[in-house]
Structures are given as structure tokens and as C-alpha cells.
Homo-oligomer: A and B are copies of this chain.
Amino acid sequence: MGIVLGPNQYGKAENRVVRIYRESERHEIRDVNVSTSLRGDFSAAHLTGDQADVLPTDTQKQTCYAYAKEKGIGDIETYGLDLARHFVDDIEPVTGARVEVEEYDWERVNNPNHTWVKKGQEVRRTVVTVDGKGDGQRVWIVSGFKDLVLLKSTGSQFWGYHEDKYTVLKPTTDRVMSTSLVAWWRYNTTDLDFGGVYDDVKRLMLQAYADVESLALQQTLYEMGRAALEAHDEIAEVKLSAPNIHHFVYDLSPFGLENNNEVFHADDRPYGLIQATIQRDDEDSGAADNADPGLAWYTVPAFA
């Protein structure tokens, strides 16, 4: 029995690239955070320290900045795909690449030509994975957002649950429901108006969040994912992760005050955490992908 190298990857994380387009008087801005990871047979680097097959992480960084000029930054999916394909197609020892891009949104203020204020809401992001050289090359594009903080002040219930000896929670038919939503969805194509789909998926999820009379956060998440899948054939699968940010009705009775869901304490920890996948029932490529844990999009955050 010996000891061997298993799955591995390496790259340059969190390159903070800002791209200004100044061809016209009305400038445009793209503000991204891009992280690269390369895969291949890097046994020598691990076992003997031989770097002959290793493209330095510094070179990966240079490439991210150079591509911001050479290719430009349009949709983050396209920028990520350009980078990932370059590493796999052009660098001989590299057989797979994972490129993650976060984008920070800005809105123009006052002088419309060249001044912005950061929007500060959700962060749009994508993970592009390219595996294999030549004809058999496979591509995954998984996009989504984080930090979309939502709250509804009614239209949420929780009752009829399983009880055991540790159950002290009281059922409710009207509560505040709030979350900071993390959404990921996997595309089944690389030829798409990614920005347009992003805006529509976000819109649909917000609409479902607002409209569903919720019997559980699980139910709300499922309806949000379903709305996205029904409207967008180009999406194969949706994953949602939603903390239940508890807003506890504050006990004002010692002071002779009523509190009819008016005054709450927003608590930090602990919080509920509800996570669900919503997918198509003919989705078997996903199952196949999962057999390869180094590539399947379940493993998008490959390490933590």
C-alpha cells in the first residue's frame, strides 16, 4: 500500500480587474473578481518539486488582466469561457480549467459620462469549467448570485411539523420571512445572452418569493426554482441555499404593550439553512456528471 496524489488544482484567486471603456465620452465600467484553477497531471510538481509542467499562478494573473484588454469583458460567462478555453487549449500540460468570476454592479450618478456609485446589492457570479482537449472537450457554465437579501412582512406560515421531545416551537400562521439568497443554475448551452437571462431569472425568483403564500421556506425555494426552469429551457438545473434570518417577535407584554407582528429582533445566529436542487426529470447528464466528482457542478466549490 502506497501513498499517492489524488484530485488537485492550483491557480490565482481574486484578481480584482476593473475595465473602463472610454471609446466614447460616455464611459462604461466592468468591475470583476476573477479566480482561476488549472487541472492536469501535475504529479511531478507534488512528488519531486519539478515545475516543468506548471504554468505559474502569476502567469494566470497576467492573462486575466491581458484578456480584459484583448478580449474585453462583456458577460462574465464569456470572459470566463475565453480564459478557461485558453488555458486548456493553448497550454499543453493543462487538461482542465475552472474560472470563477464575480461582478460588482455600478449605477451612473449625476454626470452620466464617467461617474458611478456602487449598487451594493447582490453579486452576480459564474463558474466556467472546461475539461479535456479537442473533440471530447466538455464545458459547464454555472451562474447565479449571492447576497440578495429579501424580506416579506406577511404571507409566511409554519405549522403542522413533526414534533419530538425536544420540540418547543409554537406554530404560526403569520411570520416575517427573510433570507440572503444564494442561487446557482447550470446552463445547457454556451451560446446565450447570459446577461438577459440573468436579469429574467432574478426577476422571476423575486416574483415567486413575493407571490407564494409560504407554508415553509422549502416551498418558496421550490417555486422560485420552478419559475426559472419553466421560463428558460437553456437552464438544466437550479440550486438554492437560503438562510432563514430569524425575526423574532419581541415580547413587549411586560410593558403592557401589544405586539401584533410589529416589533422584531433580527437575530444573527443560529439561523435556519434550507438548501434545495430543482431540476428536470429527464436530467440524466447531471447524474452522469456526478460520477466524476472532479468535474460535476456539485463540486463547483471544490474545496472549502
Contacts and interface: CB of A to CB of B under 8 A. Distances in A.
B206 A110 contact: yes
A167 B59 CA distance: 5
Given A48-B219, A237-B6, A298-B293, A252 B65 contact: yes
Contacts of A120: 119-122, 147, 149
Interface string A139-176: 00000000111111111001111111111110000001
A278 B5 contact: yes
Contact of A14 (B16, B151, B162, B271): B271
Contacts of A2: 280-281
Nearest to A72: B262
Nearest to A109: B206
A164 B55 CA distance: 8
Given A3-B230, A13-B273, A278-B3, A262 B46 contact: no
A27 B230 CA distance: 31
A303 B20 contact: no
Contacts of A69: 252, 257-259, 262-263
Interface in A17-48: 17-22, 27, 29, 31, 35, 37, 42, 45-48
A192 interface: no
A15 interface: yes
Nearest to A117: B150
A226 interface: yes
A17 B293 CA distance: 34
A301 B116 CA distance: 29
B229 A154 contact: no
Given A59-B169, A153-B29, A273-B11, A51 B160 contact: yes
Contacts of A280: 1-4
Contacts of A274: 10
Nearest to A244: B57
B27 A153 contact: yes
Contacts of A226: 3
Contact of A168 (B6, B17, B58): B58
B219 A277 contact: no
The 7 closest A-B pairs by CB, nearest first: A49-B215, A6-B277, A120-B120, A111-B210, A118-B149, A301-B304, A115-B210
